Amino acid sequence: MSHNPRRQFLTQSAALAATPLLASFAGKAFADDPARKLGVALVGLGSLATNQIAPALQKTRNCRLAAIVTGTPSKAETWKKQYGIPDKNIYDYKTMNRMADNKDIDIVYVVTPNALHLEYALAAAAAGKHVFCEKPMEISVERCQQMIDGVKKAGRMLGVGYRCQFDPNHLECVRLAKEKVLGELKVIDANFGFAMGDPTQWRLKRDLAGGGCLMDVGIYCLQTARMLTGEEPVWFSATETKTDPVKFKEVEETILWQAKFPSGVVVSSVSTYNANGLAGFRAATQRGWFGLEPAYFYGGNRGKRSDGPDINFPVADQFATELEDFADCILNKRQSKVSGEMGLADVKYLMTIYDSVKKGRPVTL
């Protein structure tokens, strides 16, 4: 296994590139008509935009990479050549307001550091564009609310990049829980982490990241708990450990949280920036268990259930699928299941976990 989980995501995704794409996508009513594809502008051409989102956009049937926003002229040149983006569709962070005049752009996908999501989402909405925003939605509940309000005021649609909501393996686990196939769900154990490399990156800076491993990868485990229970948590207890106070001076290194849900389901979760090998969940039920390992990679997620059959659905490109769904929401005027409200609720729970760490005691919502 690679010691770099982000690289590992890439490798596993590449292995899946041959999968017939989006075959299982539910909103398949949209025909492959280039004239009707919605134009997507990517804001922030970093690792995720470069390695996942831009390639995924080449596979979608109802959207296309139409524009880019970057502060680095050399990147603009590379992308322009690679994706045939015309000069008029290349922006920097200060010229986004000019998008208002550009009919090529329907959706602005914000892929910058967390604390910059609001600024660019609002700029996009003000230019009359729909907004798709990476997770975590922002670094405070207030800033998430401002994004929701700004996009609503512009009469546009807002979605958050929760790719696992479109992974058929996750959806199968939701079905097992909901239909009580193995009896009632009782306990969830969900963990995600990786060993952080570059000590100078924005993920370790509080003003840009808003927090550490919890904001970045712990959020996936929270999503798992909310998806499987179909409920909202009512109680959190959390604690933090730090073995490298220099590298993790500004944000948490490892955090352990527990939660209770109204039905009595309890959840335990570890997220970390200092260990590899954590990327799965197990759900214990009255008569057995099911889970995914890995659960949170870009591709190759798979799992098992105690009564026998493997959970191993072919995963279409998660980013292509989530973008196709968002475009379909716009075209058919339906609410996205990965809404701004969902993104805000997650940030509220993440803040409650931090609050519990700070207070050194459980917090009831």
Tell me if residue 267 falls in helix, strand or coil. strand
Say which DSSP state 119 is in: H
Query: How many whole angstroms separate alpha carbon 343 and alpha carbon 226?
Result: 12
Q: Are 232 and 190 in contact (CB under 8 A)?
A: no
91 catalytically annotated: no
- Site membership for ligand NAD, residue 210 (CB under 6 A): no
| Candidate list 27, 39, 113, 280; residue touching ligand NAD; CB under 6 A | 113
By rule CB under 6 A, what count of residues binds ligand NAD?
19
Rounded CA separation 182/285 (Å): 6
Active site annotation includes 135: yes
Q: Which stretch binds ligand NAD (CB under 6 A): 28-36, 113-121, 257-265, 266-274?
A: 113-121
Bridge-based pairing state of the strands 289-292 and 303-305:
antiparallel
**224 near ligand NAD, judged by CB under 6 A:** no
Please state the closest distance from residue 97 (CB atom) to ligand NAD, in A.
Answer: 17
- What region does 228 belong to: left with phi over 0, alpha with psi -120 to 50, or beta? alpha
What six digits make up the tokens of 345? 């609720």
Strands (E), the chain: 38-43, 63-69, 90-91, 107-110, 130-133, 158-160, 185-193, 235-241, 254-260, 266-272, 278-285, 289-292, 303-305, 310-311, 363-364
- Token representation of residue 118: 């609001």
Q: Does 271 bind ligand NAD (CB under 6 A)?
A: no
Asked if 111 touches ligand NAD (CB under 6 A), the answer is yes
Sites for ligand NAD among residues 155-174 (CB under 6 A): 161, 163
Does position 90 bind ligand NAD by CB under 6 A?
Answer: no
Q: Is 256 in the site for ligand NAD (CB under 6 A)?
A: no
CB 225 within 8 A of CB 259: yes
- Of 117 and 260, nearer to ligand NAD (C-beta) is 117
Is residue 321 part of the contact set for ligand NAD (CB under 6 A)? no
Catalytic residue among 220, 273, 296, 298: 220
The minimum distance between CB 114 and ligand NAD, in angstroms, equals: 5
Within a 10 A sphere around the Cβ of 278, how many other Cβ atoms? 21
> Based on CB atoms, which residue is closest to ligand NAD, 49 or 151?
49
Segment near ligand NAD (CB under 6 A); pick from 111-119, 188-196, 239-247, 266-274: 111-119
138 contributes a contact to ligand NAD by CB under 6 A: no
Query: Of the candidates 42, 66, 116, 267, which one interacts with ligand NAD according to CB under 6 A?
Result: 116
Query: 66: exposed, middle or buried (C-beta count within 10 Å: 0-12, 13-18, 19+)?
Result: buried
The binding track of 55-84 with respect to ligand NAD, each residue x by CB under 6 A or -, is: ----------------x-------------
16 to 55, contacts with ligand NAD by CB under 6 A? 44-49
Tokens standing for residue 319: 């980013």
Report CA torsion sign: 176, 179, 183, 186: positive
For the bound state, the minimum distance from the C-beta of residue 181 to ligand NAD, rounded and expressed in Å, comes to 28
The catalytic site residues sit at 135, 220
Residues that bind ligand NAD (CB under 6 A): 44-49, 71, 111-114, 116, 134-135, 161, 163, 202, 208, 216
